[in-house]
Structures are given as structure tokens and as C-alpha cells.
Structure 1
Amino acid sequence: MPVDFPQPSHARSIRRLLIGVLAMLAGAPLASADTSDFRGVNWAVLGDNFVEGSLILYGLAESDDYDTVRAKADAVYTGFEDNLAVNTVRLPVNTHTVGSDWWDAYSGVIDSATDRGFKVILAYWEDGAASEGRVNDMYAWNTMWDTVTDQYGDNTLVHFEPMNEPHGYSATDWVDMAAAWVNRHSSVPKERILIGGSGYSADAKPICADSRLDGTLLSYHIYTFFSSGEKDYDGWVQSFKDGLGDCASRAITTEFGAPMDSGLDYSDANSSDNFVQYIRALTDSMRELNMGSTYWPAIGGKITSGQDDDWYSIQKLHGSGTDLTLSTPNPSGVDRLHHGWGL
């Protein structure tokens, strides 16, 4: 049964005020420090972000104008704050969205987040899964990022991830491409740039080994389906650290997740379930290494067979129009998320 965690409106207002003050005092986190201040989730398109068209996040409608998007985003972010205690949201961008009429409205999702003190990670998703992990139009990609960085480059809460899961490139080619992006956007402070690991963002080592990318943050992904066969707890700890190498101080686990709809108890240290051991191993490791994370997904994502959303979703969306609320399907999953964040 979904569990809601309501709070009085004045409590939410005080929290937002404190978050805003801390953001102004602290500014963006330093790449040389730990990344534990990134406590977040992904808000995705229902069906996933690999679309050859506009990115319509779950809960939004293409007919929404800026004010309607703002109102919906405000409701969703209130749920994220109250139910999950997040301070970061990772959002997709693509070449069909940025610069379009929809971008004028979509910007409300970003503006709503930063106005309440959230950090925002804007990550490029390739334009459809048929792109096979590559940028299929470099001119459009550069134009998109020029627009995004021009619009949000002065906002210290906004961070930029040139590409999500660049698996169509060799490690060498991807590092060269990432270095060219950093050079093109030299006005963006490096500590606000996240470079995905090679492959499916699962190998951070080539990124932190290249001096051209010194000072940037690293975007790191790890899922059970990246691995052949199941592992025990120690095996998942080793797998998590193998992909990181010595790069943990710069890395944020921007995608990881497990089923939240199947009744698994992630608080059970004696469980032999592969997903439970995976989540426990990852959250223990991130806590130990002072790493931040953005869980995949909060809402949206792939549609699981027989369901109307992604079974990994750590929140459930209810309501219609701008009257949106969120509930928590598995409190033990949230507990482990908080544990990984050091809460």
C-alpha cells in the first residue's frame, strides 16, 4: 500500500528557505571534494527518454504552457522533498526539445527546481534508441548545448552532462569528444560539468585519467542487468568499485535502481535476493565513499509489462492537471536511499 508523508505547508516553506540560503552560501560543490551533497532522483519520460521528438516528462502534456508546467513541477517537487528529502533532480534534454516551442514551456521544470534551491543536472539523451549511443547530428547537438549553456550557464545550481550513456563510442573517442565539449563551453565552471563514464556510463576510469577533464565531475551508472548472472553482497560492492577505480571523489551515481513494486524488503541484511543485495551493497558503498546519487527513476521511465509505469519507480504519481501528488510504494527502498546519502 502506498505510503504518503505529508508535511504542513509552513514546514515545507522553511525547508525551501534553508535550502536556498545554503545554496547561496555554498555555491556549486567542488570537484575535488566528495559529492555527497547531490541527493537526488531522475524525472523521466514515461517509456524512457530515448525519443525522436519532444521530451514530455511523466505528468506533463505537450499542450502545457510555461505556467502550467511550473505548477505541475511545483507539485512534483513538493512530493520529492516531502517523501524523499531530495535536493537534486536529473532531467533530460535533446535536440528536438531545446530551441523549440516546447522548450519555452519545458524550461519551467528547470526554473521550478532552481527556485526552490534544487541542484539540476541536465543530461543529453540521444535522439531515439536507433542512434545506438552516438550523436547523430553534431551540428544540432552543439547548437542545443550552446542554447542550454547560454540560458543557464550563470545559474550556479544548474549542471551539464554532455551525453548520457555514450556507448556508441570507444573510450578514447568519447574522452576526446567530451574534452572538445568542455573546451567549446569553457565559460562553464568545470565543477558544474558531469562527464559520463565510457560505454553505458559504467566505466569512470578513462574520464578521470585524462588531464583535459581534470576538475569535472563524473556520471556513473550501475544496474543489475549490466552484469551477467547474480552476485552476492560482496560481489556487488566489488563491481561498484571496479567501475569507479580511484575516481569516487568526483563521481555521482546518476543512475541505479531496483524494483519498488514487488514487495522486496531492502532493510533485510540477511536476504539472498539479488536486487536486495545490490541495493544494500551500493548504498553502503556510496555512504562509505561520500558519493552522491540520483536514483532512476523517481517517476517515468520504462513501462513494465502488465503495469502502467516503471517497476523501479520510487514514487507513484497520482492526480490530473496541476493537482498532482506522489506516494511511496516501498519505504525500505527510501530508507536505503537515505542511508546512501548519509542521512
Structure 2
Amino acid sequence: MPHAPSIRSLLAALIAIPITVLTGAAPAAADTSQFKGVNWADPRDNYADDPVIPSGLAGSDGYATVRAKADAVLAGFQANLGANTVRLPVNPYSVGTAWWNAYTGAIDAAIARNFKVVLSYWEGTAVKDGRIDNTAAWTSMWNTITAKYGASALVHFEPMNEPFGYSAAAWADVAANWIAAYPSVPRNRIFVSGSGYNDNVTTVCADSRLNGTYLSLHHYGFWGTHTYAEWVTDLRDRIGSCAARTVLDEFGSPMTTGLNYNDPGSTDNFVRYLRADTDTVRALGMGAIYWPGLRSGDTYTLQTLTGSGTSLRLTTPNASGVDRVRHAWALTPSTTSVLRGVGSGRCLDVPGASRTNGTQVTIYDCNGGANQQWTRTSSGQITVYGDKCLDAYGQGTTNGTKAGIWDCNGGANQRWTVGGDGTIRGVQSGLCLDVDQGATTNGALVQLYTCAGGTHQQWRTG
């Protein structure tokens, strides 16, 4: 990976009209959410002109030592994160060599723990141009890897990480040639990188020669400074219609600087970015492999390494960061239910099951319809239909502001706090979700109003 701005400086951030992202939305029909993973990286980064050696391992380690160390690290990934996938770097210096004989201990340890493994080729640093350094050496490397692990259903192959030196069409040719060279490797065990810095998968997705493969995408917060909604749009634009095949196999944010990723109101760019990415991944049913799960000295590392020898353990530097990654993996629940008015016993309802932006919500007899099923998300949104948010109309902050539905856009007028007293307060206004005049009849309008403690401003689930 590389999260050095100098590497990414050629990437222009995309800013477009915000589109919906919904925690808990139904995943794509052929989702990739089976991949809940982390990168385990070399402390120097994985670009190297010598063997890549992930943090905690040593070039002098033999197979048994590597396997024991790897087992301890992988146990930490499982216990602390819930991960089931690890992405490991390979290069010609690491394969078919003495280090390869040892390094396979890490792959074998992952397989023994039922981890999915993604082996990705990284170029060297001498000529870091986004192209394969030496085609003959690269081919020999893949011949050795596929000969050993081609029959293992858990091992996946990524022909190249960040092929930014090729045009999109030229890179698709390279990927198609790799697939043709290894016909015995099932396509559903191949990760084809997106074009450029793995930053867009739409071109490789459209190439029929690559059908049946997974697509790998990278996305980072230092690429730009955006609102939450703009980050959602930026990521969605890079995915296009290809979410069902795409794994976000690099994304990450600072984990050792004290940021609170559980704050939906944060104005910090990295917080907004990570919340947008993890919400979008979950909403689209995509797989995600965080950068890095472990890399000593990296401020983005999701885990830190302690211990010595083969007695290694992992600790968590930022629990809120882990919360967000687990959220992307759908390992934390969303809450979907009716919202029943305490005073009336009737449910918060979108009249006529309308999907029109600006439709004011009401109360109505509870009937279990989709127009009465509300999802509370970790972003503070309350959503209906999977793509509409409970919204303070016109970003109103005064008594009588209509409460309605609108396309989710990440605005403060679409975030709510649910109090222990049953109130639902607008984050932007501080006003309570209120049944106008305390009415209890079907069709009574719902608005925002100064919190007064009445039952017409109290709601319960179920």
C-alpha cells in the first residue's frame, strides 16, 4: 500500500452530487462480503528489492518459527477483529528462494485457521513505475506459487498491486493474459486490480475476458478533503455497477492519533472518510481488507505487536477504528423495527408508501409495511426502504419544521440521537420528533418541536 501522499499525488479526488449509503441495506446478489480481512505488511512497506517480510517475522526464521509466529498473529486478527482473510505480499525475491521455504509457513498457518489468503505481487523500488519489473521473473514467481497453492480453495491470487504504469486497456490485457496462462486456477480465486492505483474497477469490470474474477479496489482519505457525502460518492463512482465483484482490499486511516471514528458529527476528514467507506461497503455487501492490519511503525495499523520470539500477541490502538471495520464486515448489528408513538400507539409511517422526497411522515396503525420499517444506523441516520432518510425538511431548525423522507446525503439534518427517555432529537436542531398538537389519530403529522417531555414526543421500537 502505500499511503504516502507523494505516491498518490497524481490522483484527483472526485466530488459529485451525494448519493445514498445505508447501513444494513440488502447486499448485492452475489456479494463479496465473505472477505473480512486485513493486510499484513512489511514494516518498510511492501515495495522492496529484496524479500518481503511481514512485521513480526525475520529473514532468519525457518518454516516452523514463521508458522508459529504467524499463527499467533492470525489468532490476534481473529480474536480482536473477527477477521477471516489476510492479504500477503509476494515478489520474485520471496518466492522459490530460501525465504519462500520459510514464508510458506505463514500461508500454511492461515489455511490451517481457515483464513482466506490473498497473495498479491508488489513491484520493487529501484524502478517504481507501476509496471511488472521483470516479466520472466514475475512469471516464474507465479508458476511456483500456483504450483504449490493452486489446489487450495482458500488461496487467492492478485497478479499485481496498483498497476499505475499501464493504461486501463493495457492493464486489462496483462490481467487477461495471466488468466489465460493459468487456466486451472478458478476465476473466483483471482483478484484483478482496478486500473491506476487500484483506484477504479469500472474498466476491468466491463472487460468480458475478466468475467468471473473478483475485482480489487483501493481508496484512501488522503486523496482529498471531502464531506461524508462526497466521500460516499467518490467511492461509489470508482465502483460503478460492479459492487457484486469488488473487494475493497486497501483502505485505512490513522489509528494511533486519537481520532474517534464513532462520532457521526466529526468534521475530521479521516473520520468522515472512514465512516463513509465502511457504511458504503456494508450497504453494498462488499468485502473489505483493511490496510494494514499489522505493520510496525505505520500510524494506520489496526493492531500493534507485543511479545517476543514466537510468543506474540496483538493489541488494539483505537477501539473506534476496529468498530468501524467490523461495521463494514457486518459484524455489528443494525436496528430495524417500527417506531411506535408512546402517546398514540401508532407507528411512524410514510403515507401511501410514497418514495417522493419531501413527503412528510405521519402516524398510522401499525401494519408491518415497508413504509413503517425504520433502520437506525451507526451514522445516526434513521432510514426507510433502504435508500431514504428521515429528514428535517430544508434543514429547518425551528418549531414546526416538517419531518419527512429524502435521499440520504449525510447531512446533519438527517442525523438523530435516540434518548433513554424515548425522544428522537435532530442533531442539527436539537428539536424533538413530535406529533403535531399531540394528536393520536391516523394521519397526524410529525414535525420537529422543542422537547417538552410529553408522550407525543416519545417513541419505542417494536
Could you say whether these structures have the same fold, taking a TM-score greater than 0.5 normalized by the shorter chain as the test? yes
Q: Alignment RMSD, CA only?
A: 1.1
Distance in 1, matches of 2:109 and 2:255, equals 27
Kept in 2: contact 1:32–1:250 (CA 8 A): no
Equivalence for 2:215: 218
Equivalence for 2:227: 232
Give the aligned residue type for 1:213: L
Equivalence for 1:303: none
Kept in 1: contact 2:294–2:301 (CA 8 A): yes
Equivalence for 1:133: 130
Distance 1:32 1:185, change over 3 A: farther
Larger Rg: 2
Q: 2:114 aligns with which of 100, 112, 117?
A: 117
Q: Name the SS of the counterpart of 2:52 in structure 1.
A: coil
Per-residue CA distance 1:52-103 (angstroms, 9 max, x = gap): 0011111011110000000100110111111001000000000111000100
1:34-45 equivalences under 5 Å are: 34-45=31-42
Equivalence for 2:297: 309
Q: Name the SS of the counterpart of 1:261 in structure 2.
A: coil
Q: Name the SS of the counterpart of 1:92 in structure 2.
A: strand
Give the aligned residue type for 2:329: W
Equivalence for 1:283: 278
Equivalence for 2:293: 298
Distance in 2, matches of 1:126 and 1:99, equals 17
Q: Name the SS of the counterpart of 1:222 in structure 2.
A: strand
Q: 1:337 aligns with which of 319, 325, 338?
A: 325
TM-score norm. by structure 2 comes to 0.65
Quick check: 1:192 aligned with 2:174?
A: no
Pick the structure with more strand per residue.
2
Distance in 2, matches of 1:83 and 1:101, equals 32
Kept in 1: contact 2:127–2:133 (CA 8 A): no
> Which runs of 4 or more aligned residues in structure 1 lie more than 3 Å from their structure 2 counterparts after TM superposition?
none
Distance in 2, matches of 1:151 and 1:37, equals 24
Give the aligned residue type for 2:309: G
Quick check: 1:272 aligned with 2:260?
A: no
How big is the shift at 1:129? 5.9
How big is the shift at 1:296? 0.2
Q: Name the SS of the counterpart of 2:127 in structure 1.
A: helix
Distance in 2, matches of 1:39 and 1:166, equals 24
Give the aligned residue type for 2:196: G
Quick check: 1:98 aligned with 2:95?
A: yes
Q: Which runs of 5+ in 1 are unaligned?
A: 1-30, 301-307
Distance in 2, matches of 1:128 and 1:49, equals 9
Quick check: 1:60 aligned with 2:57?
A: yes
Kept in 1: contact 2:121–2:160 (CA 8 A): yes
Number of residue-to-residue matches in the alignment:
304
TM-score norm. by structure 1 comes to 0.87
Distance in 1, matches of 2:178 and 2:91, equals 16
Give the aligned residue type for 2:212: G
Per-residue CA distance 1:202-224 (angstroms, 9 max, x = gap): 01011010000000000100012
Quick check: 1:162 aligned with 2:150?
A: no
Q: Name the SS of the counterpart of 1:286 in structure 2.
A: helix
Distance in 2, matches of 1:286 and 1:224, equals 15
Quick check: 1:319 aligned with 2:314?
A: no
Kept in 1: contact 2:167–2:195 (CA 8 A): yes
Distance in 2, matches of 1:119 and 1:335, equals 21
How big is the shift at 1:320? 1.3
Kept in 1: contact 2:41–2:88 (CA 8 A): yes
How big is the shift at 1:342? 0.9
Distance in 1, matches of 2:292 and 2:164, equals 20
How big is the shift at 1:130? 2.5
Per-residue CA distance 1:95-127 (angstroms, 9 max, x = gap): 111000100000000000011100000000012
How big is the shift at 1:32? 7.3
Distance in 1, matches of 2:253 and 2:56, equals 22
Distance in 2, matches of 1:255 and 1:204, equals 13
Quick check: 1:81 aligned with 2:78?
A: yes
Give the aligned residue type for 2:291: W
Distance in 2, matches of 1:32 and 1:183, equals 27
1:172-191 equivalences under 5 Å are: 172-191=169-188
Kept in 2: contact 1:119–1:159 (CA 8 A): yes
Distance in 1, matches of 2:240 and 2:330, equals 21
Give the aligned residue type for 2:323: D
Per-residue CA distance 1:199-249 (angstroms, 9 max, x = gap): 00001011010000000000100012333xx10000000000011111110
Per-residue CA distance 1:300-333 (angstroms, 9 max, x = gap): 1xxxxxxx60000000001111111110010100
